[in-house]
Amino acid sequence: MALLPDHAGPAQRLLHAGFLAYCGLVFAFLILPLVVIVPLSFNAEPYFTLSRGMLTLDPAAFSLRWYEDFFGSAVWRSAAVNSLIVATVSTLLATVLGTLAALGLSRPQMPCRQAVTALLISPLIVPLIIAGAGMYFVFARLGLVGTFAGLVLSHTVLGAPFVLITVTATLSKFDTTLVNAAAISGAGPVTILRRVTLPIIAPGVVSGAIFAFGSSLDEIVVTLFIGSGETQTVPRQMWVGLREQLSPTILAVATLLIALSVLLLACVGLLRRLGRGRTPA
| pLDDT tens digits along 199-210 | 888 888 988 999
> pLDDT category, 84, cuts 50, 70, 90?
very high
pLDDT given at position 97: 95
Rounded average pLDDT over 229-252? 84
More confident residue, 247 or 281: 247
**Any residues with CB less than 8 A from the CB of 177 and at least 6 apart, and which?**
none
Rounded average pLDDT over 104-123? 87
**Any residues with CB less than 8 A from the CB of 83 and at least 6 apart, and which?**
216, 217, 233, 234, 235
CA distances from 223 to 155, 185, 233 (A): 8, 49, 8
> 145, 139 in Cβ contact below 8 A?
yes
> 139, 152 in Cβ contact below 8 A?
no
Rounded average pLDDT over 1-20? 78
pLDDT given at position 149: 92
More confident residue, 179 or 148: 148
pLDDT given at position 213: 93
d(C-alpha 268, C-alpha 196), whole Å: 22
* Prediction pTM value: 0.81
pLDDT given at position 24: 93
Q: Is 57 helix (H, G, I), strand (E, B) or coil?
A: coil
Q: Is 108 helix (H, G, I), strand (E, B) or coil?
A: coil
End-to-end CA distance of the chain: 32
Task: Provide the percentage of residues in the chain whose pLDDT is more than 70.
Answer: 96
Centroid of chain to Cα 189: 32
Please say if the pLDDT value at position 14 is more than 80. yes
> 234, 87 in Cβ contact below 8 A?
no
Helix then strand then coil, % of the chain, to nearest 5: 75, 0, 25
Task: Identify the helix (H) or strand (E) that includes residue 87.
Answer: helix 74-105
d(C-alpha 234, C-alpha 76), whole Å: 7
Please say if the pLDDT value at position 7 is more than 90. no
d(C-alpha 43, C-alpha 262), whole Å: 22
> pLDDT category, 278, cuts 50, 70, 90?
low
> pLDDT category, 281, cuts 50, 70, 90?
very low
Q: Is 43 helix (H, G, I), strand (E, B) or coil?
A: strand
Please say if the pLDDT value at position 1 is more than 70. no
Please say if the pLDDT value at position 21 is more than 90. yes
Q: What are phi and psi of 43, to 5 degrees?
A: -70, 130
More confident residue, 80 or 275: 80
> pLDDT category, 275, cuts 50, 70, 90?
low
Please say if the pLDDT value at position 277 is more than 70. no
pLDDT given at position 25: 94
> 168, 100 in Cβ contact below 8 A?
no
Q: Is 31 helix (H, G, I), strand (E, B) or coil?
A: helix
**Mean pLDDT of all residues in the chain?**
86
Please say if the pLDDT value at position 89 is more than 80. yes
Count the neighbouring beta carbons within 10 Å of the beta carbon of residue 111. 6
pLDDT given at position 276: 65
Count the neighbouring beta carbons within 10 Å of the beta carbon of residue 264. 16
d(C-alpha 15, C-alpha 137), whole Å: 54
d(C-alpha 39, C-alpha 88), whole Å: 30
pLDDT given at position 113: 85
